[in-house]
Amino acid sequence: MVKLITRRLAVLPLILLAVATVTFALTEISPFDPVEAYVGAENNVSAERKAEIAHAWGFDQPVYEKFGRWIYNLAQGDMGNSIVAGGQPVAGEIASRASASIALVGGALALVLAGGLVFGVLAAAFRGTLFDWLVRTLCYFNTAAPSFWIGLLALYVFSIELGWLPAGGTSDPRAVEAGGVDLEHLILPMVILALTQYAWFTLFVRNTMLEILREDHVQFARAQGIGELAVLLRYALPNALIPFVTLIGTHLAELIGGTILIESIFGWPGLGLLALDAARSEDIPMIVGITLCASVLVVLGNLLADVTYRIIDPRVREATT
Amino acid sequence: MSASSGALRSSLNIGARRSQRLAQAMQRWPVSVRVAAGVLGVLVVVALLANVIVPLDDTAVDLDRVLDGPSAAHLMGTDEVGRDLFARVLHGFRISLTIAVLAALAAVTVGTLVGVLAGTMGGKVDALVMRVTDVFASQNHFLFGILLLVLFRPALGGAGAVMLAVGLTHWPSLARIVRGELMSLRERPFVSAAIGGGASRWRLARRHYLPHLMPAVGLAFVLTVPHAVFHESAYSFLGLGLPAHEASLGNILADGQRSLLAGGWWIALFPGLAILTAAMTIGTLAEYWREHLHPRWRSELEL
């Protein structure tokens, strides 16, 4: 287990290097001019001044030198300076916004897991009934419906028409930073973000449960006269949980991407909104920084999934250690 | 054998036989697939002929009818400057679907080319190409697409940048399938036989490789279209995609967001329903097609 973790963590810098190389290559290939983005579209900045800015930021250096400096700085945790953060370092701004996103993604993940498990198991237990049909139809509907559209409709119904929940933002961004999560403002974005992923989980749990319920050990338990509820929860569910865990890692990336839309609709001051602001101001260092952070999270998420997989499945543990 | 059957086929009317086969296949379609095909067909025809059948003007401003709810005169109501929402959604559907189809085509082209490159070159090229593929595959489509949009929108314009953003994010799974398929094809007896029979590279590619790759490529294309519709509308909704004056579904949804506080729920509701319908119908058809082609692709072609 320790070997697995250290080996995977050792690969992490290599993955980051690869992502950094690809993003660097893309910025070099693209005709995008960071100086123009910095001074703004309509400006009367002279060509000399632009050249000065380019020189000050090192844009006029040869490609290999720029690449070397970018990797060197990155290795020290310096991802450059951001335009939207008023010239402050990218890393600091990302760190200050992270807690709001962690609260949002963490809450959504918990909802996805709980909802997916409950509805997936129930749908499998009542397969072929109206309830099963309803769960599956809602799931198909959910995978096809754009999250931001559902978000807009929920915003209208629950905030504007019914007035149950605040329409967006958080009353005090610093409260989130300090760790005190503003639950009232978190509910809508959290639920909508969870809805983007819950259909996959529910359908997955349902189908795995149906497969396992056909297996011999379940039939045997039934033959012994064990109640259906105990069969479901003690004989089938633990087996269904195993593949379920691996999905969490891969879908974490989707949740992170989903925050951009959800945070924009509900004005939640996390990394998604920061990425959007950066995109609107053509703030490349910030977008690249967030992309790199997302890559790290995906690697860590997959590692976490693998570790959990080993803990809960003795077959995998014994096969590899 | 292949030469004689090829001659036989070309002597028959292939077109008529194909349509006959399609008609036979359609009789076996389950109800859900028939409904999906019908709805999608109607939507596409209506969107394409929006101006021809009914002269609907999606730009006519009527300031006496600002933010009117759905009525007989305006089926989906009017927007914040009194434009007919039904006409706008139809036009938006056409714009969004066109961009999505082109974007999916771009993604499939990239995926096929990369897969063919890795699968035919082998060795170090293959290893390098597949590591690059891994990097792209590990990125979140949406976030990485935004980076591409910002980088290339000044040069390519909104529509072009959206196609690029979708095209450069949705190719890795297809590239892996194409590569794997090519690698296994190379070892098959009929390919060895063709090589032994003196078939040229071109003939090998055209007669033996391509027909085996087409189902995967075609299916990847169909499965990518709904994703591309979502990406276009999401990017435009955020103001990063098409310019605001182009009535794509995403831009109409952005109008809808602005009108929510004024109570104009219909402007947000209907364009989303259009996206939902497109995604559900294409998804149903693609899923049915996939089950018939190759059950194994379910796990691999997760876009």
Mean residue pLDDT across chain A: 80
Any CB–CB contact under 8 A between A290 and chain B? yes
pLDDT attached to residue B301: 46
Q: A35 — phi, psi (to 5°)?
A: -70, -45
For every residue of chain A, which 3-state class applies, written as one string?
CHHHHHHHHHHHHHHHHHHHHHHHHHHHHCCCCHHHHHHCCCCCCCHHHHHHHHHHHCCCCCHHHHHHHHHHHHHCCCCCECCCCCCCEHHHHHHHHHHHHHHHHHHHHHHHHHHHHHHHHHHHHCCCCHHHHHHHHHHHHHHHCCHHHHHHHHHHHHHHHCCCCCCCCCCCHHHHHCCCCCHHHHHHHHHHHHHHHHHHHHHHHHHHHHHHHCCHHHHHHHHCCCCHHHHHHHHHHHHHHHHHHHHHHHHHHHHHHHHHHHHHHHCCCCHHHHHHHHHHCCCHHHHHHHHHHHHHHHHHHHHHHHHHHHHHCHHHHHHHC
Any CB–CB contact under 8 A between A144 and chain B? yes
Is pLDDT at A209 greater than 60 in this prediction? yes
Environment class of B228 (CB within 10 Å of its CB; exposed 0-12, middle 13-18, buried 19+): buried
C-beta atoms of B260 and A160 within 8 A: yes
**Model pLDDT for residues B270-301, shown as the tens digit of each residue:** 888 888 988 888 888 888 887 777 655 544 44
Any CB–CB contact under 8 A between A155 and chain B? yes
**Contact criterion met (CB below 8 Å) for A276 and A179:** no
Is pLDDT at A41 greater than 70 in this prediction? no
Which of B39, B147, B171, B255 to mutate: most A Cβ within 10 Å? B147
Residue of B nearest to A282 (CA): B150
pLDDT attached to residue B154: 83
Measure Cα distances from A159 to A105, A167, A174 in Å. Answer: 21, 5, 23
Among all chains, which residue has been given the structure tokens 């401003």?
B61
Identify the residue with better confidence: A246 or A295: A295
Among all chains, which residue has been given the structure tokens 């007035």?
A163
Any CB–CB contact under 8 A between B158 and chain A? no
**Model pLDDT for residues B64-84, shown as the tens digit of each residue:** 666 666 766 666 777 777 677
Say what percent of chain A tops pLDDT 90: 0
**Model pLDDT for residues A157-203, shown as the tens digit of each residue:** 887 767 677 666 554 554 455 455 566 777 788 888 888 888 888 88
Rg, chain B, Cα only: 23
When CB atoms are compared, the residue of A160, A254, A284 closest to B261 is A160
Is pLDDT at A44 greater than 80 in this prediction? no
**Model pLDDT for residues A78-103, shown as the tens digit of each residue:** 777 777 777 788 888 888 888 888 88
pLDDT attached to residue B171: 92
Nearest to B256 by CA among A144, A163, A156: A156
C-beta atoms of B230 and A146 within 8 A: yes
Is pLDDT at A230 greater than 50 in this prediction? yes
When CB atoms are compared, the residue of A27, A146, A276 closest to B275 is A146
**Contact criterion met (CB below 8 Å) for A237 and A276:** no
* CA A155 – CA B143 distance, rounded (Å): 24
C-beta atoms of B280 and A279 within 8 A: no
Any CB–CB contact under 8 A between B141 and chain A? yes
Low-confidence residues of chain B, pLDDT below 50?
Answer: 1-4, 298-303
C-beta atoms of A15 and B132 within 8 A: no
pLDDT attached to residue B300: 46
C-beta atoms of A280 and B136 within 8 A: no
Environment class of A195 (CB within 10 Å of its CB; exposed 0-12, middle 13-18, buried 19+): buried
Helical packing angle, B85-121 and B141-167, nearest 10°: 90
CA distance A14 to chain B (A): 11
B267: chain A residues, CB-CB within 8 Å: none
When CB atoms are compared, the residue of A33, A140, A257 closest to B140 is A257
**Can you read off the two tokens belonging to residue B161?**
């940048």
Any CB–CB contact under 8 A between B262 and chain A? no
A291: chain B residues, CB-CB within 8 Å: 139, 143-144, 147
Read off the amino acid at residue A27. Answer: T
B35: chain A residues, CB-CB within 8 Å: none
